Amino acid sequence: MAESGDGVPLCNTCGEQIGVNANGEPFVACHHCDFPICKSCYDFYINEGRSECLRCGTPYIYEDKITENNDTEASGNQSTIAPEFSNPQDVGLHARHVSTVSTVEEGEGNDESGGNPIWKNRVESWKSKDKKNKKKKEKEKKEEPKAENEAPIPPEQQHMEEIQPSSEGAEPLSRVIPVPRTKILPYRIVIIMRLIILGLFFHYRVTNPVESAYPLWMTSVICEIWFAYSWVLDQFPKWSPINRETYLDRLSARFEREGEPNELSAVDFFVSTVDPLKEPPLITANTVLSILAVDYPVDKVSCYVSDDGAAMLTFESLVETAEFARKWVPFCKKYSIEPRAPEFYFSQKIDYLKDKIHPSFVKERRAMKRDYEEYKVRVNALVSKALKTPEEGWTMQDGTPWPGNKTRDHPGMIQVFLGSSGAHDIEGNELPRLVYVSREKRPGYQHHKKAGAENALVRVSAVLTNAPFILNLDCDHYVNNSKAVREAMCFLMDPQVGRDVCYVQFPQRFDGIDRSDRYANRNIVFFDVNMKGLDGIQGPVYVGTGCVFNRQALYGYSPPSMSNLPRSSSSCCCCPSKKSTKDASEMFRDAKREELDAAIFNLKDIDNYDEHERSMLISQRSFEKTFGLSSVFIESTLMDNGGVPESVNSSTLIKEAIHVIGCGYEEKTEWGKEIGWIYGSVTEDILTGFKMQCRGWRSIYCVPTRPAFKGSAPINLSDRLHQVLRWALGSVEIFLSRHCPLWYGYGGGRLKGLQRLAYINTIVYPFTSLPLIAYCCLPAICLLTGKFIIPTLSNVASVLFLGLFLSIIVTSVLELRWSGVSIEDLWRNEQFWVIGGVSAHLFAVFQGFLKMLAGVDTNFTVTAKAADDTEFGELYMIKWTTLLIPPTTLIVINIVGVVAGFSDALNGGYESWGPLFGKVFFAFWVIFHLYPFLKGLMGRQNRTPTIVVLWSVLLASVFSLIWVKINPFVSKVDSTTISQQCIAIDC
């Protein structure tokens, strides 16, 4: 804080001393953060209708006489405030707290007397403008009727009245429903008991080694310790699970009052696609159509489709989709169709006449289905045409070459469909805006795949529409619940709940998976157990799709309720104590940051300021280093409630939008480091959510009764393993990066302990593959060698083993009680944990170390085998991949071990059957967990690929030779005994 020579604080606007109040004490404008403002500047802000603190956004508590003199003026001056503050209810809800913007240079500081002459002169000019505006308004007031001349309630007081508990409009838009104590208390008790039993169990295991099989015993103990550590990481973040309930009727009552403008916040939808031959345009089109038909005000919805492959097929299919949307959207809204993706609406096997009493519904539905079939024919014709690329490249309808003929070397492309200035629907109503975006790509630039495409969409949407909230979807996830956006707004627009919420995450649900869900494609345990547990701490992790973001959180700001994070705390923080000590230079930088914050708010409050003044501020080097060289985009980041300035020309916006998706725009900026989607991992979703929550934001998990979004692609065994491989590889990359939760972000202290445990679990789980594959080999080795990893059990040891197994079972049962997950889903999840652990996770660990430490990028080829042309045929399609080798090997060696063990027991007599039981139990534990994998190898019609048969025969032969070498059928006789017998019988 700047001070004069006698220690009196200086005003952060004009640079003068802040002065004293009537009691002779230093004047304080904001009692929340003590931001220094002098009395003159304070009065000026009040007269201008600015009643919030410039730093923290807290409403001023000013004297009664000031209130009486300025109530009318504050209301009258509302029309002079910048367009982004047209909604008085949202003023101050998202106050800006920059956590990563660098400060201005020393040369731009105060002058020798401690004042700031630039801002002092500017304030004087504002005051002169203010006098002119007052004269104008007095003239207008005289001409108004007497009834309208009464002093209205200032917007700030309206806002304060609305958030009072007694007000009808202040009813909460959502409610937290804790899990009943009768369910959660026994669950917690069993967790503690299981932890105690684990401690006693390991004490027994460590103090009772098996001397005859010491290496096997040591291996088993190390594996068991790691499993216990993994269990702690997975279990304790589920300590306080919660459910949530939303009230859509209250949302409408508060923000959609009859006869008044709709005050719901705008939302920008992001849809990403790359290769239209791998991601069918029809699937992407259904996603887009479901967005355009969503139950939300059309002027508040914009859909951005990112074509990262610059394919003309995607562009042309989007043209057809925009045309079909003119018929589909009014049909959905007229008859409240669910879901609003036509492919999935027309294919559902339900009574479509239920609740549809309109006499013309059947006729219009048949006509719409016919129109959709014709639309599909046109899109499929485009796909067939795109299978063979012309030698000279693609050409558009006007004869010009398609700019994206070179997919890795093309300019940025933007095309706006529909919207207020585009085509209306067949009934003449406005449609949501649809925008095609293909960012610029040039050789030699790093484009960062999906994360880079999402960041490009953040910038282009900020320039064109600048909605305060962003919803991102994968191209194969359509809107299944048309009110999903309203569900999210119940949290984000609630002044009590939404202040510190960075995103609302919805669970992923899927179509095209059979009832048995052999490969745990639905991830029920993760979405209905783990995520609900995290919601009770600091919020769920971001899972890449079906998420509604607060745009300000993506810009790297801290939540309004918290002070700014020092720039140093966003880096690797291994020694928090050192970070807390500030030297003089850091204090100076903090003071400069306060000046910059004040300048931002001053810029937003002035009326009729010229472009030169605006450009002087937003071209500050600190903003350029953070957000890039675009004054239009930088100005959009300063608008709390979103929206585009009315004075800006639409042609200028398109030109600026092309500029911000240039391939070199992000160079020497904070994009991908502190802003937007974070780079450095193929699982950019985990990193992005982690960075936000390290700044102090919290997230919310929303599970509507009708699933909000659904994925449409079935996944067979090989594709499922490759999906898991990609996720695990991303976790290993984060583990080896500076963002590893084991050491990142401790200085700020904003990530809760259990939340950090959850993030640690998301990056270390692939390493469980090493002890898991060793543990799965142990039963076969024990059966082949006759050794065992556990000594002869005493009574105490038997009780410990029994207690451990019972605690595992009881924990699972109680978890099922409070989560509502079925036991079949839990078992499938357990099975695929083993299958993925011994295959995809194992390869991810080695591939991650090779990539991050040696720079070697390895890929695993996938060869497809024809699928059955039946329902779920693709789900049971066989694809040979290297990932199938480890599980196949484990199955074979355990089957060989079981055969060898029974053979040895038959040969050894009655006493051999007791020790055999424990060994066979562990072997069958492995085989049962790998059973879905074995079924997957055989396919739907039990047809195993030839290469799998060859591998099985080869491995069986190898282990058979080992078995023969061991000679289990021949009793071991010492050579000295044989020689003594020969002497005795006169050999």
Q: Which are the catalytic amino acids?
A: 308, 685
Terminal CA-CA length for the chain: 107
**Nearest to residue 781, comparing CAs of 888, 897, 885?**
897
Task: Tell me the residue type at 927.
Answer: I
Q: Residue 77 and residue 61: Cα distance in Å, rounded?
A: 19
CB 489 within 8 A of CB 724: no
Geometric angle at alpha carbon 60, from 88 and 141, rounded to 5°: 55
Task: Tell me the residue type at 830.
Answer: E
CB 774 within 8 A of CB 219: yes
**Nearest to residue 485, comparing CAs of 314, 658, 271, 300?**
300
- For 280, 328, 375, 436, the CA distances from 380, given in Å and listed in that order, are 9, 19, 9, 20
500 annotated as belonging to a binding site for a ligand: no
- For 169, 170, 288, 635, the CA distances from 88, given in Å and listed in that order, are 15, 15, 32, 20
Q: Residue 10 and residue 206: Cα distance in Å, rounded?
A: 67
**Pairing status of strand 174-178 against strand 242-246:** antiparallel
Q: Residue 296 and residue 300: Cα distance in Å, rounded?
A: 7
Six-digit token string for 156: 């700030």
SS3 245: strand
**Nearest to residue 289, comparing CAs of 185, 368, 216?**
368
Q: Residue 951 and residue 971: Cα distance in Å, rounded?
A: 32
**Nearest to residue 241, comparing CAs of 470, 468, 534?**
534
- For 50, 269, 315, the CA distances from 326, given in Å and listed in that order, are 43, 19, 17
Q: Looking at residue 564, what DSSP letter applies?
A: P
**Nearest to residue 426, comparing CAs of 326, 336, 334?**
326
SS3 302: strand
Q: Residue 292 and residue 434: Cα distance in Å, rounded?
A: 8
CA 78 to chain centre: 37
CB 339 within 8 A of CB 710: yes
Six-digit token string for 951: 């591998």
Element (H, E) at 550: strand 547-550
Q: Residue 172 and residue 251: Cα distance in Å, rounded?
A: 9
**Nearest to residue 330, comparing CAs of 423, 464, 467, 461?**
423
278 annotated as belonging to a binding site for a ligand: yes
912 annotated as belonging to a binding site for a ligand: no
- Binding site residue list for UDP-alpha-D-glucose: 272, 278-279, 308, 449
- Binding site residue list for Mn(2+): 450, 474
- Binding site residue list: 272, 278-279, 308, 449-450, 474
